């Protein structure tokens, strides 16, 4: 079960990193403008966040996946993304596809995996 959860998160990170670059760069930059990122920083933030997502996906293929802090870092990343969206793009609360609300089960899974890895280290 933990393996399926971890690899589903890896796929999620990979897709969320490559999809904006391949299919929605202008829309992504527009969203960054809406959250208040200055124009001079938008492309850098866009590429950094996309690369971060891809790096997190790839990290699942390394020994990092066995470290509790790996899941805690992801939790903090999703939480930061969610807080920014919640306050700077409040319309996402009512979006018909619920992109913000879907982060709640992702956070729960990351917390579960964090706890599991912590327990494994204690053994």
Among candidate residues 85, 103, 99, the one with its CA nearest the CA of residue 36: 85
| Tens of pLDDT, residues 14-38 | 999 999 999 999 999 999 999 999 9
3-class SS of residue 122: helix
Question: How many separate helices (H) and strands (E) can be counted in the chain?
Answer: 5, 0
The answer, yes or no, to whether residue 1 has pLDDT greater than 80, is no
Instruction: Indicate the burial class of 26 (C-beta count within 10 angstroms; 0-12, 13-18, 19 or more).
Output: exposed
Q: Is the pTM of this model over 0.85?
A: yes
């Amino acid at each position: 079960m933990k393996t399926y959860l971890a690899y589903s998160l890896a796929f999620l990170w990979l897709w969320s990193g490559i999809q904006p670059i391949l299919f929605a760069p202008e829309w992504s930059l527009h969203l960054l403008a809406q959250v208040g990122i200055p124009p001079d920083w938008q492309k850098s933030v866009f590429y950094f966040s996309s690369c971060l997502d891809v790096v997190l996906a790839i990290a699942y293929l390394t020994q990092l996946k066995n470290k509790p802090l790996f899941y805690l870092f992801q939790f903090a990343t999703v939480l930061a993304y969610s807080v920014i969206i919640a306050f700077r793009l409040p319309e996402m609360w009512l979006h018909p596809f619920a992109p913000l609300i879907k982060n709640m089960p992702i956070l729960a899974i990351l917390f579960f995996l964090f706890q599991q890895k912590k327990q494994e280290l204690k053994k």
